[in-house]
Structure 1
Amino acid sequence: MSATPSLPLLKRVPPGLWVAAAWYAGVVFSFLMRARLPGEQEPSVLPGVILYRWDGLLTQALAAALLARGCVLLERRPLKSLAMVLGAAALATLSLSVGEIPLAQFLAADVALYFVAATRPRRTGNIALAMALGTLIGFLAVRVAARWNVGTSAELAVALTAVVAWLVGRSVHEARKHDESLAAKAAAQAIIAERLRIAREMHDIVAHSVGIIALQAGAAARVVHTQPDAAREAMSAVETAGREALSGLRRMLGALRQDGPGLQGPEREAAPLHPAEGLAGLDRLARATTAAGVRVDVRWRGERRPLPPDIDLSAFRIIQESVTNVVRHAATGSCRVSVEYGPEELAIEVADGGRGPGKAADTGFGLAGMRERVALLHGEFTAAPHPEGGFRVTARLPVPQEDAA
């Protein structure tokens, strides 16, 4: 099995570090805005009265410590962490002598709000958005109550960034839930497909052998007193068919035991339910069926060549099931199997001159299984009574160009 691929570098960074990076980027930006940079006559924003004093620097240090604690708790206690980040933003603003929480100080809160909305349920995300907007409103309300100047317009822009961060986080959350839903549906469909695959294999393994066993056992019962040698031969055929069926089931169950839940793609194909069978076993199938009392005439057309394993196995299974239906339902002594190798497809035909499948075949899954096999290979399948009498099954399986060459 292949090793689990590692996450991209940016996704390996914990959310708390992104919040811390946004915080320190905002702090640096705030100090740069309050310093006279090259080419400027004066700073873009005048520094606060206490910004460079010990009490202003202490306020910034306390805000940074509160922010660091919030970053540590972000993944475990998201709402408590966001409360600390918001408190740090408000505390760091006090020494700046401004009328609102600037965007630079609120940038870390936006990043934390995004992570909460993206990774937590809707209710938690809504509470986080209310906390962020409530902090901005509360900061302005305190300044209004104290009759200080307020920057309402600038604060509205900061509130807008919080709403955008929340919307982006919710979008990521919904996209992740959608992907998980699709993955769950794909897993359920894969389970259904696997069950169908197992059912088809078991049907194909058992149905033919049981049909031969029933036919031979009936023949033996009819001649057991008059022709003991013929009865003995028929029972030997029953034993052989039973052993082949048992062996096939044992191999299939053994393969199922070896299949792990992690096998996917090429690894899954490398552990098939049944050892590879194909058209090479068609002559053996014809001999066994002929020995059971229904002669099978096999006709090969075109140049025989190796086929892809899935096409080879499906072709054999279709012929096997068709011959089994002839034995069980057609009430005839012979059938004809034609296999034609074309340049771009493999054509199969199984025809008999009996009375058709009858009502008994309508309740089984043989025709449905054959139709599914052909559909999976994007081929064409027909099964219907022949106008001249009897029943005919045809299948055309496309062969990929690289395999047909």
Structure 2
Amino acid sequence: MVLVFSRRNPLRLVLSWERRVLQEDRASVPEVASLLPGDRRRRFSPGPITAGDVALVLFVALASLFGFVERASVVFETDDGPLHYREPDLAGAALILVGCVALLWRRPFPGWVLAVATLSAVARNAAGYPLAPMPYAVVVACFAVGQRWPLPRSAVALVSVLASLAGSALARFGTAVDDEVLTEVLAVLAAWALGRGYRLHRMRTRLLEDRTLLLEQRARHLAQERSTVAALAAAHERASIARELHDVVANDVGMIVARAGGARRRERQGDRVSGEVLAAIESLGREALTDMRRMVGVLQSIDDDAAGAAPPGLDQLEELVAKVAAAGTDVRLEVTGDRRPLALPVELNAYRIVQESLTNAMKHASGSPVTVHVDFGPERLRLVVRDLGGRETSASTPGNGLLGMRQRVDLLGGALRTGQVPSGGFVVDCVLPDGAGEVTRDPAAADR
């Protein structure tokens, strides 16, 4: 008994070891920590009574009865004389069988079964029957309690059982049987420790299963995220290509329409359409086709030369203005500030914004002079395209030009203001960051 209550007794060692193992498990998988002991929502399923349970009960009953009968002939010599046990009879055998048969329900009712087995042993001790060489029924019931109950409840049950067995035996037979009492205590404690170890093994197995499920869910989630990101990237790329195609087609085809419309009006007035006008229309058409091929070449290389062509930039503004002027629109370009090469996205989007603004002026303010002001500031680029208003053409239906410009500006983190001017006309005022540190264009391009 001194061993049970000492500082290094097996019970303390088992409790300390189990507490450390469970803390490590909780730390390793915090997502499923609520499934560890203390959470009664997840228990081992009791299951039905099986043939193995019946075989176990028969074995325990036979071993207990054999030890019960064999101990009846043993006489212990004590200081007070020989110790005689009560002769085995049907009542003693019935007490043994009650504790053994109760083991059939050790899974659904481990606490009740342990109580019945313990009371059976205590009753035999109180009646003076021989001490069993091993309390088999109590050992099996303690294993079940250690396996199925949480640590606090099973520890309380274990202490109660040990105190009952030791107290009843010592009170009835005295210290002459202290060795046998110690054997019973160690056997019950070992059975409980094995039950706790089995419980820990089961919980660790379920913990690993939960961890596997969690990893599978995370893998599926990451796969869905990758799919979503890829879809968003594809949609963004399609939107960018759509804006580029719109700007290319709207500008080039708009100038073709303007040239053709001017030639048709001169023909109505009796003037003959010159070959120079038709050649200009053909040239504009070829340029539009080349630009479209270059854009489509981003997705599929249709023409290697076109697909490999460099995108336009601010160094080509003079050519753009000259093409628009050749189509019959009075355009004036003003460039102020320190003209320098900017980051490629800024150059491309600035060029497209000016191109779209000129196309809108040709469509919605035909005959009006247009001014294009490009200011290279210290840390930003400002574009101002303004017309003075004029007669609207038949192509005055709204399009996606302003929306595309706003998307380009938002993409670069700039600011855009568009609208009617009180004095007449329409203005596009755009401010873009210069993209310092991201210059990819040849600096010599600024001198063209």
Q: Which category describes the TM-score, using the shorter chain as reference length?
A: 0.5 to 0.7
For 1:214, give the aligned amino acid.
Answer: V
Structure-1 separation of matches of 2:392 and 2:52? 86
Q: 2: CA distance between counterparts of 1:343 and 1:139?
A: 90
Q: TM-score, normalised by structure 1?
A: 0.58
TM-score by length of 2: 0.53
Which residue, 298, 307, 321 being the options, matches 1:286?
321
Note the C-alpha offset of 1:333: 2.7
CA distance in 2, matches of 1:376, 1:140: 73
Offset from partner CA, 1:98-148 (integer Å, 9 cap, x none): xxxxx9xxxxxx9xxx9xxxxxxxxxxxxxx99x9899x999958845547
Q: 1:273 Cα shift? A: 8.5
Q: Is 2:203 aligned against 1:168?
A: no
**Contact conserved, 2:342 with 2:436, CA < 8 A, in 1?**
no
How much has 1:216 moved relative to structure 2? 0.8
Partner residue, 1:248? 291
Aligned partner of 2:445 in structure 1 is none
Instruction: Name the CA distance, whole Å, in 1 between partners of 2:367 and 2:268.
Output: 25
Q: Is the 8 A contact 2:301 2:307 kept in 1?
A: no
Displacement after TM superposition at 1:188 (Å): 0.9
Deviation at 1:285, TM superposition (A): 0.9
Q: Check whether the contact 2:344–2:438 (CA below 8 A) recurs between aligned residues.
A: no
Distance 1:376 1:393 in 2: 17
Cα distance in 1 for partners of 2:426, 2:195 equals 86
1:346 aligns with 2:389: no
Q: Give the alignment partner of residue 239 of structure 2, picking from 196, 203, 207.
A: 196
Query: Counterparts of 1:4-403 in structure 2 under 5 Å?
Result: 144-145=56-57, 146-147=59-60, 149=140, 150=143, 151-224=194-267, 226=269, 228=271, 231-258=274-301, 275-354=310-389, 363-402=398-437
Residue 41 of structure 1 is matched in structure 2 by none
Secondary structure of the 1:387 match is coil
Relative to 1, partners in 2 of residues 1:164 and 1:221: Cα closer, same or farther, differing over 3 Å?
same
Q: Is the 8 A contact 1:319 1:350 kept in 2?
A: yes
Question: How has the CA–CA distance of structure 1 residues 372 and 286 changed in structure 2, closer, same or farther, with 3 Å as cutoff?
Answer: same
| Structure 1 gap segments, 5+ residues each | 1-43, 45-102, 104-109, 115-128, 260-270
Find the aligned partners of 1:208 and 1:372 in 2 and give their Cα distance: 18
The size of the alignment, in residue pairs, is 269
**Aligned residues of 1:299 and 1:337 also touching (Cα < 8 A):** yes
Native 8 Å contact 2:343 2:436 kept in 1: no
2:368 and 2:209 mapped to 1: Cα distance? Answer: 76
Range moving further from structure 2, 199-208 or 155-164? 155-164
Is the Cα contact below 8 Å between 1:224 and 1:231 reproduced in 2? Answer: no
Deviations 1:288-326 (A, max 9, x none): 111111111100010110111111010000000000000
- Cα 1:142–1:316 change in 2 (3 A) is farther
Which structure has the greater CA radius of gyration? 2
